[in-house]
Structure 1
């Protein structure tokens, strides 16, 4: 059987330029929308190829799920990354490789995180309006810094989203997230992290997991033997997580 044909459209949703991918028939409304945000330094379209990979792994997603890939608003051209984008800028010491004290950094609210949150929330609102789907039919997620900003959004939306996928993310704004998470009891979370991640330490991912579990979120934590990347087995588990959110 040939894989389902997916359609890809570039469009503006809320404050951000997005790539929208689905295999729905013309005019059909999705049953679930998945908003996935790329990592720091990646091009705006970095995660778009995950849509066909996820659909190939779980065919039931094809005619029922719409994938939305927002491009981060900030350019990293000044750091020599012509097509690199960021959700918020990192301290110069981290950019120059001089200091990567993520334990200390995780306790702070990074400058630029509130603006990034607003931008991603505007995408979620635009998706909800366009599809007439409530937040509880929208899954948020992302890789690395994209996972950080979508975690921040998921904990702050007026209503609980359908789920959260944190792919190689880390703990930020620790006091705020710990407090906000209390209102998200039962939120399904898929979190994956490489044990050999030399960008965002595995131990910090475990702290994020423990913070969410303690607050009552339903966290499926998948450690894998790899670096700062998206693992093949991890992708299978994301596909299964999305199928479960789809229901029926």
Structure 2
């Protein structure tokens, strides 16, 4: 896959600024679209570099898939990260490292999550319209907080998406997610999590996996020996997961 053949366009889809990346011939309608959401505090363009990596692992992705990388709606400037974006803000105690009770937090609906959901749903709607794709041909996913907001949206869309991937994510809005997941039985999910994650402990990823499996979703869970990061084998598995969503 020749990176020189990739097209990258900065545009606004729905409520959010996005980077759109693909290797499709001009005017070609993609067979699948993939939305990738960054983690808390990252730049809005942080995960654009993943796209050519995934395409190199599975070249068919360059020929048939459009990737969209939206920037979170909130700034992290107040935390000394002028380029950093967030989907929703965490409690100040979490940000200062004074409290990290993720099990208790998982039962809450984070303040700002409904607004983040609305913003990302507007991206899905705009992408569906501009790419001429139904929701069933759109995959959502992301890293850390990006995995949280995409899980929330994937469980709430009017129609089931093509798939969901969660990279180092965790369970939030537990009661709501478990209730919504009942209507997503069979949804293909790829989930990766580092065993030595010191931000979102491995056990939190296991709790999310268990909640989704118990609700009937089809979860491919990949643990790796690493911290709160992306792993090469994890990305290879993700690329294969996305190729499988093409359906042929």
- Given the two structures, how large is their TM-score scaled by the length of structure 1? 0.99
Q: Return the alpha-carbon distance in structure 2 between the equivalents of residues 4 and 75 of structure 1.
A: 32
Partner of 2:56: 56
Q: Over residues 77-132 of structure 1, what are the superposed CA-to-partner deviations in whole Å (9 max), with x where a residue is unaligned? A: 01101111000000000011100000000100000000000000000000001112
Query: Structure 1: which 5+ residue stretches go unaligned?
Result: none
Q: Return the alpha-carbon distance in structure 2 between the equivalents of residues 2 and 106 of structure 1.
A: 42
Aligned length: 248
Q: CA deviation at 1:75?
A: 0.4
Partner of 1:47: 47
Q: Return the alpha-carbon distance in structure 2 between the equivalents of residues 89 and 153 of structure 1.
A: 17
Equivalence map 1:194-233=2 (5 Å): 194-233=194-233
Q: CA deviation at 1:174?
A: 0.3
Query: Within the alignment, does 1:246 sit opposite 2:236 as a pair?
Result: no
Q: CA deviation at 1:200?
A: 0.3
Q: Return the alpha-carbon distance in structure 1 between the equivalents of residues 9 and 191 of structure 2.
A: 28
Q: Over residues 132-176 of structure 1, what are the superposed CA-to-partner deviations in whole Å (9 max), with x where a residue is unaligned? A: 211010000000000000000000000000000000000000000
Query: Structure 2: which 5+ residue stretches go unaligned?
Result: none
Equivalence map 1:82-161=2 (5 Å): 82-161=82-161
Q: Partner of 2:63: helix, strand, or coil?
A: coil
Q: Return the alpha-carbon distance in structure 1 between the equivalents of residues 3 and 25 of structure 2.
A: 15
Q: CA deviation at 1:202?
A: 0.7
Q: CA deviation at 1:64?
A: 0.3
Q: Over residues 37-87 of structure 1, what are the superposed CA-to-partner deviations in whole Å (9 max), with x where a residue is unaligned? A: 000000000000011000000001111000000000100101101111000
- Given the two structures, how large is their TM-score scaled by the length of structure 2? 0.99
Poorly superposed stretches of 4+, deviation over 6 Å? none
Contact 1:4 1:23 in 2 (8 A): no
Query: Within the alignment, does 1:190 sit opposite 2:180 as a pair?
Result: no
Q: Return the alpha-carbon distance in structure 2 between the equivalents of residues 242 and 208 of structure 1.
A: 21
Q: Return the alpha-carbon distance in structure 2 between the equivalents of residues 233 and 177 of structure 1.
A: 28
Equivalence map 1:26-45=2 (5 Å): 26-45=26-45
Q: Partner of 1:98: helix, strand, or coil?
A: coil
Q: CA deviation at 1:3?
A: 5.6
Q: Return the alpha-carbon distance in structure 2 between the equivalents of residues 217 and 23 of structure 1.
A: 31
